[in-house]
Amino acid sequence: MTWGGRSQRAGTAVLALLATTQFLMTVDSTVMNVSISALVEDLDTTVSAIQGVITAYTLVMAAAMITGAKIGDILGRRRALRVGLIVYACGSAVTAISPNVGVLLFGWSLLEGLGAAMIMPTVVALVAGNFEGRRRAVAYGVLAAAAAVAVAAGPIIGGFVTAYFSWRWVFAAEVLIAAGILLGSKVVQDAPAEHRPRLDMVGALLSAAGLGMLVFGVLQSGTWGWIEPRVADGTDATPQLAGISMVIWLVLGGLLILWVFLEWLRRRVAAGREPLVDPSLFGNHQLTHGLVVLLMQYLVMMGMFFSMPLFLSLVLGLDAFETGIRMLPLSLALIVTAPSVAKLLPHAGPRGVVQVGLGLMLGATILLAARLDQGAGAEITTVPFILMGIGMGALASQLGNVVVSAVPVARGGEAGGLQYTAQNLGSSLGTALVGAVVIASLSSLFLQDVQSSDVLGPALKDQAAVEVGSGVEFVSTAQVEEALATTDLTPAEQAEILDGYERSQLGALSAGMVVLSLFVVLTLFFARRLPADPLIAEQEAVGSAGEGPA
């Protein structure tokens, strides 16, 4: 028995190595979300700063993914895998010893992000080079399962290690795992590209700059303000141009650069030169709608994975492991649903499955939005998390096939690069957008609560208007209580401010869920354009031809 022309044992070893690589690359996107409070305390920083680091990690991957695929074509896929692993391991080592958030950003977001951008598209190409026919389809399914397990298991792993050891051990372990994969990579056959292209450096820089400006603008909207500057003048004035917050200029500038990027691609094609990515792919409606729904799925998912640990850890005071345990229903539902849908409903069309999944996700966000504002405990998350996990699993069972089957097998690598780009761009936008909404809502709601208080005097209200106007950080109520104890406020005033801050936290998180609900509704419109008929015929045709993933 063989795996695409290789012995069963050799094929299994290769698949295990590549699946482990996929797991390692994916787990970093969720492993630290439940440990935000520990990172804030250990590095003496803020939730906003850690939000920026998490956002930057997925943004670097999104911006560099297509370029990473091209580098794999140039260097050779196995060599690119090894180079990427070395870069990734160096980033993990730097992260493990980070003394401050700046070093954390360099190690985790930049080095690990660049390493992952080289590795992930290379893994897809190596599957194609090491397996054939239906075995190749099975191998791609194993990679998808490894990614789903990584997303779901990240909070549990991160929570356990952080609670009982230190979050730094997560990254130290990644160094060892990367080294093991590097040593074992000799069993992987190289998958040379049909031709070695020249890297489109201008296209790579334009795509990275456009995506970077866009996401950075969204990230800063919570503290700078969308249109009007949050603080118009003075020493604490937020960045602005012509009296308008820099956020809108960054977003518009990013969109403009992305438009220039598309025009640059078209001109390269017209001149007979190879572009970073073929712009004709964007005319494929099945591909583009699949990518948009995929981006939206990861936006909602990572928005949830960022905001709900804030509720569980900073509002309710659970430690990292307890937070991970509370998110276990979501993780288990995702892991069980993703493979089960394909097995139980093999002839179901992607459109129907995705719409049902989105409906469940919408129910989850609405339930959380309604119940968070009531100040309930951790038990309110169980049912919404199960609904969210089932919904995410339903989408995960379909969208990869929608994207891959939209193009000929020979162009599967480009489609895969776009798929990873959409996933990571959605992840970075989800963390940035929901984080910005939560931070902005917290400031606004807390100021409203202070101003409407009958306990606080006019002088204290005026002082609060000045200090809160520049923004409020999302911190634990215990930290607020400690800070209030050092002031000369009366016990009644301290209690009033603390209660108001707690109410504002819940209201801000509820606002974040409302925003996620709106994005789920928007995604339902795009899902109407997905294929209504099952893709199993295309998968079987591809598998029997022995040419690509199903």
CA dist 318 and 316 (Å) reads 6
Q: Specify the pTM.
A: 0.80
Q: Is 281:289 a contact under the CB 8 Å cutoff?
A: no
Residue with the two structure tokens 């780009």: 421
Domain at 1-192, CATH from 1.20.1250.20, 3.40.50.970, 3.90.550.10, 3.40.50.1010: 1.20.1250.20
Q: Is 4:276 a contact under the CB 8 Å cutoff?
A: no
- Quote the DSSP letter at residue 533: S
What would the 3-class secondary structure string for 425-494 be?
Answer: HHHHHHHHHHHHHHHHHHHHHHHHHHHCCCCCCHHHHHHHHHHHHCCCCCCCHHHHHHHHHCCCCCHHHH
Q: What pLDDT is recorded for position 92?
A: 92
**Residue 164: burial class (beta carbons within 10 Å; 0-12, 13-18, 19+):** exposed
Beta bridge partners of 240: 245
Residue with the two structure tokens 């091209």: 70
CA dist 344 and 353 (Å) reads 12
Cα-based distances in Å from 190 to 23, 82, 187: 21, 11, 9
Segments of the chain with pLDDT less than 50: 1-5, 537-550
Q: What pLDDT is recorded for position 362?
A: 95
Q: What pLDDT is recorded for position 471?
A: 60
For 196, the 3-state DSSP assignment is: coil
Beta bridge partners of 3: 6
For 7, the 3-state DSSP assignment is: strand
Give residues with Cβ within 8 angstroms of 141, minimum separation 6.
Answer: 550
Degrees (nearest 5) of the Cα angle 234, 467, 44? 105
Torsion angle of C-alpha atoms 464, 468, 469, 470, degrees rounded to 10: 140
Identify residue 367 by its one-letter amino acid code.
L
- Quote the DSSP letter at residue 198: P
Identify residue 10 by its one-letter amino acid code.
A
**Strand ranges (DSSP E) for 169-254?**
240-241, 244-245
Nearest Cα to Cα of residue 91 among 25, 37, 148: 25
Q: What pLDDT is recorded for position 514?
A: 93
Nearest Cα to Cα of residue 493 among 481, 479, 504, 505: 481
Q: Is 244:227 a contact under the CB 8 Å cutoff?
A: yes
Give residues with Cβ within 8 angstroms of 251, minimum separation 6.
Answer: 213, 214, 217, 218
Q: Is 112:57 a contact under the CB 8 Å cutoff?
A: yes
Nearest Cα to Cα of residue 470 among 235, 219, 216, 248: 235
Residue with the two structure tokens 């190596």: 126
CA dist 492 and 287 (Å) reads 59
For 245, the 3-state DSSP assignment is: strand
Q: What pLDDT is recorded for position 383?
A: 92
Q: What pLDDT is recorded for position 505?
A: 85
Identify residue 424 by its one-letter amino acid code.
N
Q: What pLDDT is recorded for position 549?
A: 34
CATH class of segment(s) 282-436+513-550: mainly alpha
CA dist 419 and 293 (Å) reads 11
Cα-based distances in Å from 257 to 249, 252, 499: 12, 9, 45
Q: What pLDDT is recorded for position 227?
A: 77
Q: What pLDDT is recorded for position 93?
A: 94
Q: What pLDDT is recorded for position 276?
A: 79
